[in-house]
Amino acid sequence: MTEIPTLPLADYVEPTARELDRRAHEFRTRLATRRTVRDFSDRPVARSVIEDCIAAAGTAPSGANQQPWRFVAISDPAVKRRIRLAAEEEEREFYDRRAPQEWLDALAPIGTDWHKPFLETAPWLIAIFAERWHLDAEGNKVKHYYPTESIGIATGLLIAAVHSAGLVSLTHTPSPMGFLNEILGRPGDLERPFLLLVVGYPAAAARVPAISRKPLSEIAIFIEPKGPPDPGLV
């Protein structure tokens, strides 16, 4: 086994305590305004913006640095049309036959159904695939480890990058999603569709559900030392 060479962490510049606090709070405040949007404008978005967002997602950590992700960005109206028709076919089957009643009850307040016009209206769709394997130089399959966890982290970074750029997004997961392999020409034996991210500007009359997020006290637990720190540990 060849050991990967290392480099000094030369690009890291430690911020002051005040700057650290400011950055963390600023990022939290920015992400707090992120909302899932279903009403998109058809206004174009430059490819360069999508490239930067995907490149940011590609900085995510991954198991053994195998980077088991593939992002397919689609702006072609004809391809988006094919994806919409295929997705709506699966969604219609889901809502009418496959979905358990408790899941339909959970979705009811949000008001979603099998109609997905945003798949055509939004300027960009980003199909995200998890690579279960890759082929080495001899054409042999090499297994990827923790692909689901890795691609989940990368997708989170992509959503944050899209929001930070000033756009909105929607995570869409029709089930099953094998039609994405066929339409986009991706090898089904190597790549599994993970998620379809809809990206663009919100429509002028866009509305979102009046919902709230859990407060920090309900999602985080802090385990800290009791009393002053032991001088011997400083």
**Which pLDDT belongs to residue 18?**
97
- Write the pLDDT tens digit of every residue in 44-63: 999 999 999 999 999 999 99
- The neighbour count for residue 158, using CB atoms within 10 Å, is 26
**Which pLDDT belongs to residue 211?**
87
**Which pLDDT belongs to residue 106?**
79
Contacts of 189 (CB under 8 A, 6+ apart): 133
Question: Confidence class of residue 201 from pLDDT cuts 50, 70 and 90?
Answer: very high
**Which pLDDT belongs to residue 1?**
59
**Whole-prediction pTM value?**
0.90
The DSSP element (H or E) to which 26 belongs, if any, is helix 17-31
Residues forming a β-bridge with 195: 128
Question: Around 97, how many Cα atoms within 13 Å sit in the side-chain half-sphere?
Answer: 6
Distance, C-alpha 207 to centroid of its chain: 21
Question: Confidence class of residue 232 from pLDDT cuts 50, 70 and 90?
Answer: low
As given in the structure block, the two tokens for residue 199 are: 């990206």
Is residue 230 scored above 80 in pLDDT?
Answer: no
Is residue 21 scored above 60 in pLDDT?
Answer: yes
136 vs 204, more confident: 204
Q: What is the mean pLDDT of residues 165-188?
A: 94
- Write the pLDDT tens digit of every residue in 102-132: 877 877 777 778 889 999 999 999 999 999 9
**Which pLDDT belongs to residue 137?**
87
113 vs 172, more confident: 172
Is residue 170 scored above 80 in pLDDT?
Answer: yes
Would you call 229 exposed, middle or buried from its count of C-beta atoms within 10 A (0-12, 13-18, 19+)? Answer: exposed
**Which pLDDT belongs to residue 103?**
76
